[in-house]
Amino acid sequence: MSQPVSMSGPRPGRCRVCDADVVEFLDLGAQPLSDAFLTPKDIGHEFFYRLAVGRCTGCTMVQLMEEVPRERMFHAEYPYHSSGSSVMREHFAATARRFLDTELAGTEDPFVVELGCNDGVMLKTVHEAGVRHLGFEPSGSVGRLAAESGVRVREAFFEESSAADLRRREGAADVIYAANTLCHIPYMDSVLRGVDALLAADGVFVFEDPYLGDIVERTSFDQIYDEHFFFFTARSVRAMARRAGLELVGVERLPVHGGEVRYTLARAGSRQPSPAVAELLAEEEARGLADPRTLDAFAERVARHRDELVALLRRLRAEGRTVAAYGATAKSATVTNYCGIGTESVSFVSDSTPAKQDRLSPGMHLPVVPPEVFAKARPDYALLFAWNHAEEIMRKEEDFAREGGRWILYVPEVRVV
């Protein structure tokens, strides 16, 4: 294992990027670990923290007010498998091919490093192309699956010490990549020093994470949970990059996971920023994305959507309808615990992940069952917790709708389809 970094971090209310004051704009209350699916003996021993979000008065970075120690979240039983969605498998295969065909074309003996490679969903393609690579993956449960498909994995957190160690042993990386991982890392200073130690002079650091612009636009408040510490914008990422001697040279909006942005950072002066960077910065400015009033209005909509969802579930229950849920997402911990959705309103959650099945959802203890149980139970309604995979799931479960079942969505609005 690599060296520990200061896990407690600065006092709450100080920015984890620039140390200026952070002002809270949304409190989602006491929450359990979003990916801690329980066995009956775990009941009564759950870890709770206060889930609240604020905005930095200096660099505008939106971030959690309280930090959960990383070992509580990412460990040998981490249950999320990135390859559980065919859309995501294709997304990451295309990402790898893009690196191989453009960024790395012509580079002699290229080296690709990934933070949070999970089950190898992206690096598998890099490995199959015979390209040198390494994935950092602290969660042994999923890292093992990556290794089984031939991917080189280091069971460690990426941070300054582990990155510098890799640089000494294997040389500089041409591409450092992180999908849905950088936003999980409060100790950003250490990670950026690690990137500085490891990145080749003309290399790129590419990462993609849920975009604050989409979260605000769609009121997708369930993107806020323990693992999602930062909520990036082009503006806050550019400020963060500059503090580390890096420049934001590319941005690309992605449709996956309900709306993300892929950011490309390079050493300052090594590349010309693409016009898309200035365009997105201007769009954010025009939308007032960094304006506290925009975030206060978002917080008001969150409370309204909660009230509407709770009212809908109460009405369906009064009418004697049966309601199940679909997708035991990490995101749904926020929804169920913030809205108080327990087994009186949703009888179970269907999920295809073996590590989540036959367990109880964190905090509200909804039983998680395999999809076959969902098909047999034929509930009247299904609350789609995995709304980001709506198309894929509705296609897979077309029998449900054909036989009269209705989907309940709560992003971007509470509605029945």
Name the phi and psi angles at 282, rounded to 5.
-65, -40
Stretch that binds ligand SAH, among 35-43, 175-183, 270-278, 357-365 (CB under 6 A): 175-183
Closer residue to ligand SAH in complex, CB, 54/194: 194
Question: Which residues ranging from 110 to 169 are in contact with ligand SAH (CB under 6 A)?
Answer: 115-116, 118, 136-139, 142, 157-159
Token code pair at residue 383:
């609350």
- For residue 74, give the amino acid letter: F
**Which of 180, 233, 332, 352 touches ligand SAH (CB under 6 A)?**
180
CB of residue 382 to ligand DWN, shortest distance in Å: 11
Instruction: Report, in Å, the least distance between residue 181 CB and ligand SAH.
Output: 4
Classify 319 in phi/psi space as left (phi over 0), alpha (psi -120 to 50) or beta: alpha
Of 139, 180, 190, 336, the residue at the interface with ligand DWN (CB under 6 A) is: 180
Distances (CA, A) of 112 to 138, 187, 270: 18, 22, 19
Beta pairing partners, 27:
52
185 binds, among Zn ion, ligand SAH, ligand DWN, none (CB under 5 to 8 A by kind): ligand SAH
Tell me which residue of 68, 25, 28 sits closest to 338, measured CA to CA. Answer: 28
Does 228 participate in binding ligand SAH (rule CB under 6 A)? no
Q: Which two tokens stand for residue 328?
A: 């035991």
| Residue with smaller CB distance to ligand SAH, 143 or 203 | 143
* Residue with Cβ nearer ligand SAH (159 or 174): 159
Give the Cβ contact number of residue 36 at 10 Å. 22
Among 386, 408, 411, 414, binds ligand DWN (CB under 6 A): 386
Q: How far apart are CA 352 and CA 12, in angstroms?
A: 37
Helix (H) / strand (E) element for 315: namely helix 292-318
Rounded Cα–Cα distance for residues 116 and 105 (Å): 24
Among 127, 238, 331, 359, the residue binding ligand DWN under the rule CB under 6 A is: 331
Member of 123, 182, 328, 346 binding ligand DWN (CB under 6 A): 328
Contact 405, 349 (CB under 8 A): no
Contact partner, 263, from Zn ion, ligand DWN, ligand SAH, none, Cβ < 5-8 Å per class: none
> Binding pattern to ligand DWN, positions 217-256, x when CB under 6 A?
----------x-----------------------------
Question: What are the DSSP E strand ranges found in 33-187?
Answer: 48-56, 62-64, 111-115, 132-136, 153-154, 173-179
Query: How far apart are the C-alpha atoms of 39 and 182, rounded to whole Å?
Result: 30
Task: Verify binding: residue 367, ligand DWN, rule CB under 6 A.
Answer: no
Count of other CB atoms within 10 angstroms of residue 92: 23
State which residue, 247 or 351, has the beta carbon closest to ligand DWN.
Answer: 351
How does DSSP classify residue 39?
P
Q: Which of 329, 337, 357, 361 binds ligand DWN (CB under 6 A)?
A: 329
**DSSP class of 403:** T
| Site for ligand DWN, rule CB under 6 A | 80, 84-85, 180, 227, 327-331, 351-353, 356, 386, 388-389, 392-393, 396
Task: Report the interface residues with ligand SAH, using CB under 6 A.
Answer: 74, 78, 80, 82, 115-116, 118, 136-139, 142, 157-159, 179-181, 184-185
